[in-house]
């Protein structure tokens, strides 16, 4: 059998839960040091937000981006100390920053500074152009694209992430998302609202690009 190679994939926004990282923060001084650095760079009480919430505050992208990123770095640090030697690093959306840090391309300090500023800009745009995201499961991409085209009559909406053959994320204003949900059901799929605070990966946050 050929030698198996290890890949590490870092998650992004929507993966958060209250209590994440608790076991590391309680037992690992190096994890606490990373968290302390993240709190200093971001200016936010990330430990409290990650452990106690409330979830609405943790989910705000200005908080969640540094919170999720430091958790990714803490988990990677534990894997590295355990002797895990990946051949590949990858990240899903925000998780790309954790992957870059783990690969040694960007320092942890630079990474946390970048995602803090990214979160600030995205929150600014979401306040001006509010929206959300839904994961559509059990439908092929062609069907989802057709649903999105139909829902555009109600407002701005787009296919945001093609995660797998039958998991596609759509992003946009609340009205077209609401219009899309019953169409998804009619086609035999399911639309699952995501735990995010804006219409990420859509034109609604394009105003952040110049900054």
Domain of residue 195, CATH code = 3.30.70.250
CA distance 30 to 13: 24
What is the residue whose two structure tokens read 């968290």? 35
Residue 118 has pLDDT above 90, yes or no: yes
**125-177: pLDDT as tens digits:** 999 999 999 999 999 999 999 999 999 999 999 999 999 998 999 999 999 99
Strand order in the sheet with 132-137: 157-164, 167-172, 132-137, 190-193
Q: What pLDDT is recorded for position 113?
A: 99
The residues annotated as belonging to the active site are 93, 201
The answer to whether residue 61 is domain-embedded is yes
User: Do 57 and 136 sit in the same domain of this protein?
Assistant: no
Q: What pLDDT is recorded for position 127?
A: 98
Per-residue confidence band for 47, with pLDDT thresholds at 50, 70 and 90: very high
User: Do 38 and 93 sit in the same domain of this protein?
Assistant: yes
CA distance 77 to 34: 9
CA distance 154 to 21: 40
Number of domains the chain is built from = 2
Q: What pLDDT is recorded for position 2?
A: 78
User: Do 111 and 169 sit in the same domain of this protein?
Assistant: no
Residue 1 has pLDDT above 80, yes or no: no
Which domain-ending residue is among 99, 127, 155? 127
Q: Domain range spanning residue 159?
A: 130-208
Nearest to 167 by CA among 149, 184, 186: 184
The token pair at 2 is 């050929």
User: Do 149 and 63 sit in the same domain of this protein?
Assistant: no
Residue 20 has pLDDT above 80, yes or no: yes
Residue 32 has pLDDT above 80, yes or no: yes
Cβ atoms of 111 and 73 closer than 8 Å: yes
Q: What pLDDT is recorded for position 3?
A: 84
Q: In which region does residue 14 sit, left (phi positive, over 0), alpha (psi from -120 to 50) or beta (all else)? A: left
The token pair at 93 is 């959306």
**58-115: pLDDT as tens digits:** 999 999 999 999 999 999 999 999 999 999 999 999 999 999 999 999 999 999 999 9
Residue 187 has pLDDT above 90, yes or no: yes
Which residues are 191's β-sheet partners?
Answer: 136
The token pair at 181 is 């949900």
Average pLDDT rounded to a whole number, residues 15-31: 98
Average pLDDT rounded to a whole number, residues 169-189: 99
Nearest to 17 by CA among 42, 51, 46: 51
User: Do 16 and 118 sit in the same domain of this protein?
Assistant: yes
Domain of residue 27, CATH code = 3.40.366.10
Residue 27 has pLDDT above 90, yes or no: yes
The answer to whether residue 1 is domain-embedded is no
CA distance 165 to 174: 25
User: Do 105 and 187 sit in the same domain of this protein?
Assistant: no
Average pLDDT rounded to a whole number, residues 11-36: 98
The answer to whether residue 2 is domain-embedded is no
> Residue 174: exposed, middle, or buried by beta-carbon count in 10 A (0-12, 13-18, 19+)?
middle
User: Do 110 and 186 sit in the same domain of this protein?
Assistant: no
């Amino acid at each position: 059998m050929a030698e198996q190679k290890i890949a590490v994939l870092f998650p992004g926004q929507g993966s958060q839960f209250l209590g994440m990282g608790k076991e590391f923060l309680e037992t690992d001084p190096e994890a606490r040091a990373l968290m302390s650095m993240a709190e200093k760079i971001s200016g936010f009480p990330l430990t409290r937000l990650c452990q106690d919430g409330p979830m609405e505050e943790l989910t705000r992208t200005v908080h969640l981006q540094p919170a999720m990123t430091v958790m990714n770095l803490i988990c990677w640090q534990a894997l590295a100390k355990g002797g895990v030697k990946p051949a590949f690093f990858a990240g899903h959306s925000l998780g790309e920053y954790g992957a870059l840090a783990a690969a040694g391309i960007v320092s942890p300090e630079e990474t946390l500074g970048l995602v803090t500023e990214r979160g600030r800009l995205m929150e600014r745009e979401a306040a001006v152009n509010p929206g959300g995201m839904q994961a559509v499961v059990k439908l092929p991409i062609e069907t989802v694209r057709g649903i999105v085209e139909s829902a555009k009559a109600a407002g701005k909406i787009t296919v945001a992430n093609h995660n797998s053959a039958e998991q596609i994320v759509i992003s946009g204003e609340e009205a077209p998302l609401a219009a899309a949900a019953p169409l998804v059901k009619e086609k035999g799929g399911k639309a699952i609202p995501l735990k995010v605070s804006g219409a990420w990966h859509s034109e609604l946050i394009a105003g952040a690009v110049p900054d």
